Amino acid sequence: MTVSEPKVSPLWKKLLFPAILLLLIAGGVAGSMLATRDPQTHVHGWLDRLLWQRIPAPDFTLTDHNGEPVRLSQFRGKVVVFSFGFTHCPNICPATLSHFSAIREAVPEPIRHQVQFLFITVDPERDSPERLKEYVPFFDPHFLGLIGTPEEVRDVVYRYKASFRHGKPRAGDPKDYFVDHTADAFLIGPDGQWELSYPFEELPKTERIAADIARLVNVGGGPREARRRD
């Protein structure tokens, strides 16, 4: 699902329930219902609804917010949840990381250490490891921010069937621009299989996502029984 912050249709305005405003975390969840689904995004679902074939998660190497190289495969044995974003993002990214924090808190404490949350910037031109280190751990000290060269980031995004696009600079400032990007969260099992993706609007369902994570931790990945969609 690719989001575009600046334009809000009347239909989406009608879908903004007042109750959502009570869940704002530093204004982060304000853009939750502004998300629009990218028709190119593959099928989503829950682990108890096997909607598509699991495939090996494309491996990648980026740099974390401590300046250290990180490979996705180094987290083998853990469940990984990651998303794309950027630190200048006004709504979607703070909301996503706030949801990640709530999801991690909902995971049973004894297995919480077996889950790793990642935030991959799609704006390496303005972001840096130092900026990510200030931004990402604010939501949870266990989260890791990742960055790469523009080419490395683009390769990771495309391999996960996602997308991003830098907007035109505003007010003549080359550093003042917005980035439209896929806002889904990607779930990788302990065996390195790409299990599924959660559309942005499903991220508030913390208990259900936490149950998916716990299920993967407990079974260690591997084949699941296929069930028809309800």
Look at residue 229 and tell me if it is in a domain. Answer: no
Is residue 126 within 8 A of residue 86, CB to CB? The reply is: yes
Query: Three-class SS string for 91-151?
Result: CHHHHHHHHHHHHHHHCCHHHHHHEEEEEEECCCCCCCHHHHHHHHHHCCCCCEEEECCHH
What is the predicted pLDDT for the residue at 37? 37
Dihedral (Cα; 201, 206, 209, 214), 10-degree rounding: 170
Side chain identity at 54, as an amino acid letter?
R
Look at residue 87 and tell me if it is in a domain. Answer: yes
What is the predicted pLDDT for the residue at 218? 87
What is the predicted pLDDT for the residue at 52? 59
Is residue 106 within 8 A of residue 210, CB to CB? The reply is: yes
Look at residue 6 and tell me if it is in a domain. Answer: yes
Q: Which domain holds residue 88?
A: 2-219
Q: Give whole-number Cα distances, 63 to 66, 80, 159, 163, 189, in Å.
A: 8, 16, 18, 20, 21
SS3 state of residue 198 = strand
pLDDT of 13-68, one tens digit each?
Answer: 344 433 333 343 444 443 443 333 333 333 444 554 544 578 899 999 999 999 99
Please report, for the domain that includes residue 199, its CATH number: 3.40.30.10
Look at residue 172 and tell me if it is in a domain. Answer: yes
pTM, two decimals, is 0.76
Listed as ranges, residues in the chain with pLDDT below 50 are 4-45, 48, 50-51, 222-230
Q: How many CA atoms lie within 13 A of 188 on its CB side?
A: 24
Look at residue 227 and tell me if it is in a domain. Answer: no
Closest alpha carbon to 146 in 163, 127, 162, 159 = 127
Distance CA 111, CA 144 (A): 18
What is the predicted pLDDT for the residue at 43? 40
Specify the number of domains making up the chain.
Answer: 1
Look at residue 46 and tell me if it is in a domain. Answer: yes
